[in-house]
Structure 1
Amino acid sequence: MVNADERRFEVLRAIVADYVSDQEPVASKAIVERHNLGVSSATVRNDMASLEEDGYITQPHTSAGRIPTDKGYRMFVDRLSEIKPLSTPERRAIQNFLEGAIDLDDVLRRSVRLLAQLTHQVAVVQYPTLSRSTVRHLEIVPITPARVMLVLITDTGRVDQRMVDLGDVIDDESVARLRAMFNSTLVGYRLPEAAAKVAALPDDAPSDLRDTIIRVSTVLVESLVDHPEERLVLGGTANLTRNVADFPGSLRQVLEALEEQVVVLKLLAATQDPGLITIRIGNENEAEEMRSTSVVSMGYGTRDTLLGGIGVVGPTRMDYPGTIAAVRAVANYVGKILSAR
């Protein structure tokens, strides 16, 4: 026999499911008709009264049914015993779509577009955190006899291009020497360490290449210490405007916070463990402008290395099991794809 606490949770789960589906307050009669709880309407009404007294549900206006509160959603999420995995065709479609990307920017753009479509919410992904990226290769491409292009490639798939005016003509042999010298100094080091090594490179440079190495090093250090992890890619912002009723008086604030990105970056930056889902519901968000939203996020990367965060922003009236499954699947594929490049 189900005890009273378990029965009340089943009532709460029924209210969450119906309210997420219909966006209408849920009455006891509807719960009895739609959900096979095996108890009478009177028992459901008593359980709803207890849930309301404890702050898990509330009555939006007189003579209405009940809706979940932030506390109610939190209890529901914390007691999700399992997340229904995506089907094999869904997972195959995600993998094929993301593996078709041509570079890092394309991977991230495809990720947010896909996640927004799967969840019908706003999808966000953080660029890989540079402090954890390592240099894979530096290509030096002559553009003119006195100008070269630097192409820096990291293990996360980031490609950064910078032009350098050398101030003097340089031949192919000297370009080859530069390429070998810089790659032997940089490759395999994390970007902060690589920046320090590049800055010290002119000290021991051959006299005939010293001025050129100083010019290349100056530009390269700027590239290595740049911070694209402070960039986000967003997708599906229009999804919020389809649910204006979920943001009474606050939709504009939410859209402005998304546009400024700083608030969302802080939320994603707090995701420290690849594979661990983090959920912030309503008032659990520190930023006031985000307190009408829920944020479901997860780190992506390898088992040992966190590259960045990916997630979804939407109303608290959210399909949490479906959203969690989608975020987890996309984050895992992004991590695998970037780690393999």
Structure 2
Amino acid sequence: MSSTEERRFAVLRAIVADYVATQEPVGSRVLVERHNLGVSSATVRNDMAALEEEGYIAQPHTSAGRIPTDKGYRQFVDRIAQVKPLSGPERRAIQSFLETGVDLDDVLRRGVRLLAQLTRQVAVVQYPTLSVSSVRHLEVVALTPARLLLVLITDSGRVDQRIVELGDVIADDELVQLRGLLGGALEGKRLAAASSAVAELAEDAPAHLRDAVIRASTVLVETLVEHPEERLVLGGASNLTRNAADFSAFPGSLRAVLEALEEQVVVLKLLAAAQDAGTVTVRIGEENEAQEMRGTSMVSIGYGSAGTVLGGMGVLGPTRMDYPGTIASVSAVARYVGEVLAGR
């Protein structure tokens, strides 16, 4: 890259930094005063004119300074040479806070709370995708002689409890047989395979257990089927309203974003792009396919362990975002969530 292009990127980087910090259009004189660009005001003005012509910055109104465009943010994000790492105390605090989560639900809730606090944006995390989860253990407990409690535990830490109403009482030895049949069909299998296996159990079940097997299998199959509407945890939605001015250029945008967050489908599609536990994905403004998200940016990453991505997590906010700090926070929290779930 030529020295002129490097200098113009330095100007763009300074405009991004100032606009993110102040939410005010940035002029050439301010850039010279605040940043050690090593050139005159006239050169900065020429560089800003070139950046504007190329679509990296824009003038919101006459006699104003310049603000970054979606294209300008993209150039800035693509050329972030170094993401400021979190400090040792920050990392230890995150790890300690997540490790004290009592179960999967608590760990995920803690994760989004941390991300929302660290970034001052909306944080979202997807529940572990069932298609990549396996059954670790199935416990069958007799609540009464005619009612069972099924406790299904996956390797991602998910715990589901379901009640089975039997048509008749079940003896202790029959309960042991039933537990063995169901556990043998499920444990160690991916959830899709487990669902098929348990659905076929009744065909070969002993006659005296067939009705109990059918009733338990029906409940388990329903449990093993993925319910997308239950797969998202969200925190910090009120942070969007603090940045309401960022959405003023998009009529109805803030309300549309809030409605999309409530419905979850759009956000789940954005998180679906986060399929790599080691790579952060940044979608800026117009890069979002959903019309209601055109005024936002999404920073996301996959979380998991042992090379398996369990789900996606990330941060959503206006395009005027602290990208280096947000990327660092999302990466750190995702890493520790994956480690905590792997250790359970």
TM-score (norm 2): 0.97
Q: Which amino acid aligns with 1:57?
A: I
Q: Which amino acid aligns with 1:265?
A: L
Q: In the alignment, which residue of structure 2 is the partner of 1:273?
A: 276
Q: In the alignment, which residue of structure 2 is the partner of 1:47?
A: 47
| Alpha carbons 2:147, 2:163 under 8 Å: kept | yes
Q: Which amino acid aligns with 1:267?
A: L
Q: In the alignment, which residue of structure 2 is the partner of 1:291?
A: 294
**Within the alignment, does 1:232 sit opposite 2:232 as a pair?**
yes
Q: Which amino acid aligns with 2:258?
A: L
Q: Which amino acid aligns with 1:50?
A: A
| Alpha carbons 1:127, 1:228 under 8 Å: kept | no
1:11-90 equivalences in 2 (<5 Å): 11-90=11-90
**1:329 maps to which of 329, 332, 336:** 332
Distance (Å, rounded) in 2 between the aligned partners of 1:215 and 1:100:
37
Q: Which amino acid aligns with 1:67?
A: I
Distance (Å, rounded) in 1 between the aligned partners of 2:77 and 2:215:
55
**Within the alignment, does 1:256 sit opposite 2:243 as a pair?**
no
| Alpha carbons 1:166, 1:212 under 8 Å: kept | yes
- Residue aligned with 1:16, SS: helix
Distance (Å, rounded) in 2 between the aligned partners of 1:232 and 1:316:
22
Q: Which amino acid aligns with 1:310?
A: M
Distance (Å, rounded) in 1 between the aligned partners of 2:44 and 2:227:
54
Q: Deviations over 1:23-77 (max 9, x none)?
A: 0000101110110011000000000000000000000111111000000000000
Unaligned runs of 5+ in 2: none
TM-score (norm 1): 0.98
- Residue aligned with 2:148, SS: strand
- Alpha-carbon distance, 1:230 to partner: 5.3
Distance (Å, rounded) in 2 between the aligned partners of 1:46 and 1:84:
30
Unaligned runs of 5+ in 1: none
Task: Work out the percentage of aligned pairs sharing the same amino acid.
Answer: 72
- Alpha-carbon distance, 1:186 to partner: 1.0
Displacement over 3 Å in runs of 4+: none
**Within the alignment, does 1:247 sit opposite 2:250 as a pair?**
no
Distance (Å, rounded) in 2 between the aligned partners of 1:8 and 1:303:
42
Could you say if the C-alpha distance between residues 229 and 275 of structure 1 is closer, same or farther in structure 2, counting changes exceeding 3 Å?
farther
Could you say if the C-alpha distance between residues 155 and 228 of structure 1 is closer, same or farther in structure 2, counting changes exceeding 3 Å?
farther
Q: Which amino acid aligns with 2:275?
A: Q
| Alpha carbons 1:293, 1:313 under 8 Å: kept | yes
